[in-house]
Amino acid sequence: MNETGLSEEEIQNILNYAKNRDLTYERVLSSMCTYPHKIAVQAHIQFMESNMGDFGLFRGTYDLERKVIRALGDLLHYQEASGYMTTGGTESNIQAVRSMRNLFNKKSDKYIRPNLVVPDSAHFSFDKISDILNIELRKASLEDDLKVSIRSVNSLIDENTMGIVAIAGSTEFGQVDPIEKLSIIALKHNIFLHVDAAFGGYVLPFLEDIHEFDFNLSGVTSIAIDPHKMGLSTIPSGVLLFRNPEQLENLKADTPYLTVSTQYTLTGTRSGAAVAATYAVMNFLGKEGYRKIVAQCMDKTKYLLKKMEHLNVEPLIEPVMNVVSLDVPSADLVREKLAIDFNWQVSITQNPHGLRLVIMPHVTFEMIDSFVDDLEQVLLSI
């Protein structure tokens, strides 16, 4: 840090330089985030200093958080769900598993290292969780359609299994696991079932096709859903919902020197700005608004696939949501060439290997046209 500060103008120049080096979303087809909605940005700025870690000072923001939790509980078919706003899917997943582990450990006097059965398609946050919480991660294999294999899940469960994770919108393929069946398995073994709907939570309820993935299924005990992805809120906005208040309660920590005496959260200081932003955009758009946005994303997804037919490029699976995986030869090289020659940001899928595109609200038909032209060139050149 300099001894004396810089002028506002100097700072602004530095910031402008940094901002110019950032990519804009105009050529980004790899991200599950997008431009937040204008109304979310305004609310975020208005509540910038609000700290939900000490919400006794920010009662108004806290009320907004309670309303967000209630609205999402309602959307996901359990209005009484308890929970709180996290920094995103990773934190929601950590806390869901931490709660399972605590409740599992309470059942026995002697220490048992519990295991958690997750689909092979689970987000890498679960690898972090295994490390942080010292739990064994058992990865269940996938069927050809890239949904988790029920047979594999069943074969991995034993007396030390505390729960199962299901994915409602996998990061790589946007696939939804057979959660109805997983719910039955969880009930049968009396274990937890956490649904990672970080991406799909704001998509599935607004699609024409019905997918059972939420608290409607009685075995589902917790859900992660991210407003900072398809919810069009600002970063950092995640939400964790529990069916049973006991699941939240066991995360309690005493906070003697704050205005409130307990915290249930992983982080201490928390963004009230993200809470206000999420409240604002959800109430501005309503279900009708999200339905429209999801329908537009799906129209563009179909448009992209139609154009791919002309290039003889097939999807690896028929997209369930606005995540597309494409069967192209030498996907790594294609990705690299798209970036270097045409400035496109796309990502890849691991298994099966392919090109991955997320058709977020910032993706336009013109972007798709231009991308397909460039992809054609790349495919001809390799």
Ligand X SMILES: Cc1ncc(COP(=O)(O)O)c(C=O)c1O
Q: How far is CA 110 from CA 107, 149, 250, in A?
A: 9, 32, 19
Report the 10 Å Cβ neighbour count for 265.
20
Q: Could you say whether residue 89 binds ligand X (CB under 6 A)?
A: yes
CB of 89 to ligand X, least distance (A): 3
φ and ψ of 305, to 5 deg: -65, -35
DSSP single-letter state for residue 7: P
Beta-sheet strands, E only, within the chain:
82-86, 115-119, 136-140, 161-167, 192-197, 222-225, 238-242, 253-254, 262-263, 314-315, 323-327, 347-349, 354-358
Using the contact rule CB under 6 A, the part of the chain among 2-10, 76-84, 196-204, 305-313 near ligand X is: 196-204
b/e per residue 69-107 (b: at least 16 CB within 10 A)? bebbbebbbbeebbbbbbbbbbbbbbbbbbbbbbbbbee
Q: How many angstroms separate the CA atoms of 117 and 164, rounded?
A: 5
Q: Could you say whether residue 90 binds ligand X (CB under 6 A)?
A: yes
- Between 316 and 375, whose beta carbon lies closer to ligand X? 316
CB of 316 to ligand X, least distance (A): 17
Of the candidates 84, 173, 199, 206, which one interacts with ligand X according to CB under 6 A?
A: 199
- Between 321 and 355, whose beta carbon lies closer to ligand X? 321
Q: Could you say whether residue 125 binds ligand X (CB under 6 A)?
A: yes
Q: Could you say whether residue 232 binds ligand X (CB under 6 A)?
A: no
CB 163 within 8 A of CB 157: no
Q: Could you say whether residue 196 binds ligand X (CB under 6 A)?
A: yes
CB of 220 to ligand X, least distance (A): 15
Q: Could you say whether residue 94 binds ligand X (CB under 6 A)?
A: no
CB of 378 to ligand X, least distance (A): 25
Q: Could you say whether residue 148 binds ligand X (CB under 6 A)?
A: no
CB-side neighbour CA atoms (13 Å) of 19: 6
Q: How many angstroms separate the CA atoms of 142 and 162, rounded?
A: 21
Question: Of 146, 119, 141, which Cα lies nearest the Cα of 317?
Answer: 146
Q: Could you say whether residue 28 binds ligand X (CB under 6 A)?
A: no
Q: Could you say whether residue 29 binds ligand X (CB under 6 A)?
A: no
Residue 83 region by backbone torsions, left for phi larger than 0, else alpha for psi between -120 and 50, else beta: left
Q: Could you say whether residue 172 binds ligand X (CB under 6 A)?
A: no
- Between 313 and 363, whose beta carbon lies closer to ligand X? 363
Using the contact rule CB under 6 A, the part of the chain among 52-60, 127-135, 194-202, 278-286 near ligand X is: 194-202
Using the contact rule CB under 6 A, the part of the chain among 37-45, 70-78, 166-174, 284-292 near ligand X is: 166-174
Helix (H, G, I), strand (E, B) or coil at 86: strand
Q: Could you say whether residue 117 binds ligand X (CB under 6 A)?
A: no
CB of 129 to ligand X, least distance (A): 11
- Nearest-Å Rg of the Cα atoms of the chain is 22
Q: How many angstroms separate the CA atoms of 93 and 79, rounded?
A: 20
CB of 106 to ligand X, least distance (A): 27
Q: Could you say whether residue 65 binds ligand X (CB under 6 A)?
A: no
Helix (H, G, I), strand (E, B) or coil at 116: strand
Of the candidates 198, 266, 277, 293, which one interacts with ligand X according to CB under 6 A?
A: 198
CB of 86 to ligand X, least distance (A): 8
Q: Which residue is it, tokens 């972007």?
A: 367
CB-side neighbour CA atoms (13 Å) of 140: 28
Q: Could you say whether residue 95 binds ligand X (CB under 6 A)?
A: no
What mask, x for binding ligand X by CB under 6 A, covers residues 236 to 275? --x-------------------------------------
Q: Could you say whether residue 121 binds ligand X (CB under 6 A)?
A: no
What does the binding site for ligand X look like in residue numbers (CB under 6 A)? 32, 88-90, 123, 125, 167, 169, 171, 196, 198-199, 226, 238
